């Protein structure tokens, strides 16, 4: 029997490892019945110490590979922002052709990332046939990325003062073929995601983020643009070849005439951005200037310049999820970076999660949370394992191996008896 006038709230921990979340994070949800009244976000479960390594172990060129491994999906925008910061700190200007190649690769990444997200969003609401369809479609761009860079995931395209591989005239037809494929199926994708009744029911007026909240909580990327914030680094403070292109930030009112700021609007923004990326790549292929792709091909020389350089730089890149910023400080005579600070887009977008989830139903948590396209490995960096004081043991490789060997011995002893 329900006691009138008395409400009880329960705290439900979701995560760090939970079937509804693809990456480790903990959400403490305070619920009253099915309704969420408060949310606490607890991060830090996959902290890896990348900044620390860049300041203590690796030299600035080796750091490019570390930056690439900050995130598996955004493995272009992190090195992109990093090299821009280092170039600014050391006064290196990359050749014009390299600026165009950088942009082409970055836009390919955006296409694959948005399609990956679209699949996950469909999966979260239990629409798995769409999930399979979208990921099948995504394979085309993955093949193209492999064709251009030689690898599907970590592409190793960036180098301080340029790029490592050229995109030649002979490769253009193959690139245009994939772009044509996406243009031909774009309307189909649009129908599936924007007109389907199930998707509309689950995403319309769910997980609303108002424009003032988005601005106050410093939200970035498609999450902010879906709330009507006109903000895109490619438009506002364009870097590389974006400075030559006239890019407009995409907001949902371009399609629907209004801004609601719900999950549905976030789908619109990402979908339209796929189309925008195709146009950007086409434009870059047409206008790519000839010339060298590296300011200084001898890496030993670059390393020497960086060792003697003194200065600081900020690199900002518009990743698929929003603004990535790298701050770098170089000290003359120091082999490693003096300071390296990375900020990935999910870091700030997570702050909007409590606002978005408050008032939502428990069953909406997976899709609403997924709608900001959270990327935990980006946000969490730096772990220091303390074996002496740590009671909640963090096991090292050797300890685990030792335990494993012990168990084998124990079992074989039991068998022998």
Partner 1 sequence: MEILSPEEIVESFKAALGSSFIDSKIYQREVAVKKNLFQAIWIYVKREAFRQAVEHTCKLQEYPHLSIISSSDLGDSVGLIYHFTIYYGHHLKELSLGLCINLPKEDLKIPTITDMVPGALFTERETQEMMGVEIVGIPDNRRLFLPGDFPQGVYPWRKDEKGPHDLLRVLPGREKK
The residue ranges that bind partner 1 (CB under 8 A) are 43-44, 47, 49, 51-52, 55, 88, 93, 96, 99-100, 215-220, 229-231, 233, 235-244, 246-249, 287, 289, 314, 316, 323, 325, 327, 329, 338-339, 341, 343, 347-348, 350-351, 380-382, 384-387, 389-392, 396, 398
Token pair of 92 as six digits: 């290196």
Choice between 308 and 390, CB closer to partner 1: 390
To the nearest whole angstrom, how small is the minimum distance from the Cβ of residue 413 to partner 1? 26
Choice between 107 and 140, CB closer to partner 1: 107
- Residue 129: is it exposed, middle or buried by C-beta count within 10 angstroms (0-12/13-18/19+)? exposed
To the nearest whole angstrom, how small is the minimum distance from the Cβ of residue 308 to partner 1? 19
To the nearest whole angstrom, how small is the minimum distance from the Cβ of residue 53 to partner 1? 11
Choice between 17 and 201, CB closer to partner 1: 17
To the nearest whole angstrom, how small is the minimum distance from the Cβ of residue 158 to partner 1? 16
- Residue 14, C-beta contacts closer than 8 angstroms, at least 6 positions apart: 20, 21, 26, 27, 28, 29, 365
Choice between 192 and 376, CB closer to partner 1: 376
Choice between 185 and 385, CB closer to partner 1: 385
Residue 232's closest CA among 217, 248, 218, 245?
A: 248
CA distance 153 to 145: 8
CA distance 79 to 67: 5
CA distance 354 to 352: 6
Q: What angle do CA 264, 110, 313 make, to 5 degrees?
A: 115
Taking only Cα atoms into account, the Rg of the chain, rounded to an integer number of angstroms, comes to 23
To the nearest whole angstrom, how small is the minimum distance from the Cβ of residue 252 to partner 1? 16
To the nearest whole angstrom, how small is the minimum distance from the Cβ of residue 348 to partner 1? 6
Choice between 199 and 372, CB closer to partner 1: 372
**How many CB atoms sit inside 10 A of residue 165's CB?**
15
**CA max distance for the chain:** 79
Choice between 53 and 303, CB closer to partner 1: 53
Q: At what angle do helices 263-287 and 172-190 cross, to 10 degrees?
A: 160
Choice between 199 and 283, CB closer to partner 1: 283
End-to-end CA distance of the chain: 58
To the nearest whole angstrom, how small is the minimum distance from the Cβ of residue 170 to partner 1? 23
Preceding omega of 16 cis (within 30 degrees of 0): yes
Q: Is 324 helix (H, G, I), strand (E, B) or coil?
A: strand
CA distance 29 to 26: 9
Query: CA 239 → CA 83, 145, 213, 244, distances in Å?
Result: 12, 22, 28, 9
To the nearest whole angstrom, how small is the minimum distance from the Cβ of residue 56 to partner 1? 9
Residue 148's closest CA among 119, 109, 182, 195?
A: 109
To the nearest whole angstrom, how small is the minimum distance from the Cβ of residue 231 to partner 1? 5
Choice between 2 and 391, CB closer to partner 1: 391
CB 86 within 8 A of CB 302: no
To the nearest whole angstrom, how small is the minimum distance from the Cβ of residue 118 to partner 1? 26
Q: At what angle do helices 77-90 and 96-124 cross, to 10 degrees?
A: 150
Choice between 125 and 229, CB closer to partner 1: 229
CB 344 within 8 A of CB 118: no
Choice between 117 and 327, CB closer to partner 1: 327
To the nearest whole angstrom, how small is the minimum distance from the Cβ of residue 126 to partner 1? 32
Q: Which helix (H) or strand (E) holds 197?
A: helix 197-203
Strand order through the sheet with 10-14: 10-14, 26-32, 35-42
């Amino acid at each position: 029997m329900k006691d009138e006038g008395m409400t009880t709230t329960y705290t439900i921990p979701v995560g760090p490892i939970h079937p509804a979340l693809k990456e480790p994070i903990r959400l403490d949800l305070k619920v009253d019945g099915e309704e969420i009244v408060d949310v606490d976000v607890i991060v830090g479960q996959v902290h890896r110490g990348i900044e620390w390594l860049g300041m203590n172990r690796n030299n600035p060129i080796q750091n490019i590979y570390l930056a690439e491994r900050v995130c598996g999906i955004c493995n272009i925008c992190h090195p992109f922002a990093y090299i821009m910061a280092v170039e600014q700190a050391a006064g290196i200007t990359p050749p014009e052709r390299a600026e165009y190649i950088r942009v082409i690769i970055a836009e390919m990444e955006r296409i694959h990332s948005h399609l990956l997200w679209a699949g996950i969003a469909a999966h979260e609401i239990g629409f798995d046939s769409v999930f399979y369809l979208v990921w099948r479609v995504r394979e085309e761009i993955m093949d193209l990325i492999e064709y251009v860079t030689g690898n599907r995931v970590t592409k190793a395209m960036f180098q301080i003062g340029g790029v490592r591989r050229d995109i030649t005239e002979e490769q253009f037809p193959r690139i245009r073929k994939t772009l044509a494929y996406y243009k031909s199926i774009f309307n189909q994708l649009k129908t599936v995601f924007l007109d389907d009744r199930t998707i509309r029911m689950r995403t319309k007026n769910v997980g609303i983020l108002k424009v003032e909240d988005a601005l106050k909580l410093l939200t970035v990327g498609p999450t902010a643009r879906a709330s009507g914030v006109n903000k895109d680094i490619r438009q506002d403070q364009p870097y590389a070849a974006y400075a030559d292109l006239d890019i407009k930030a995409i907001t949902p009112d371009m399609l629907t005439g209004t801004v609601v700021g719900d999950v549905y609007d976030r789908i619109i923004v990402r979908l339209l951005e796929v189309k925008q990326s195709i146009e950007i790549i086409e434009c870059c292929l047409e206008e790519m200037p000839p010339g060298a792709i590296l300011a200084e091909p001898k890496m030993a020389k670059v390393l020497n310049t960086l060792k003697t350089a003194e200065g600081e730089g900020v690199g900002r890149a518009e990743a698929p999820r929003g603004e990535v910023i790298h701050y770098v400080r170089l000290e003359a005579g120091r082999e490693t970076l003096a300071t390296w600070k990375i900020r990935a887009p999910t870091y700030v977008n997570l702050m909007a999660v409590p606002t978005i989830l408050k008032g939502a139903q428990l069953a909406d948590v997976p899709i609403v949370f997924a709608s900001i396209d959270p990327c935990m490995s980006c946000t969490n960096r730096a772990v220091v394992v303390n074996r002496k004081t740590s009671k909640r043991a963090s096991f090292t490789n050797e300890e685990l191996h030792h335990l494993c060997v012990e168990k084998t011995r124990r079992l074989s002893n039991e068998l022998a008896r």
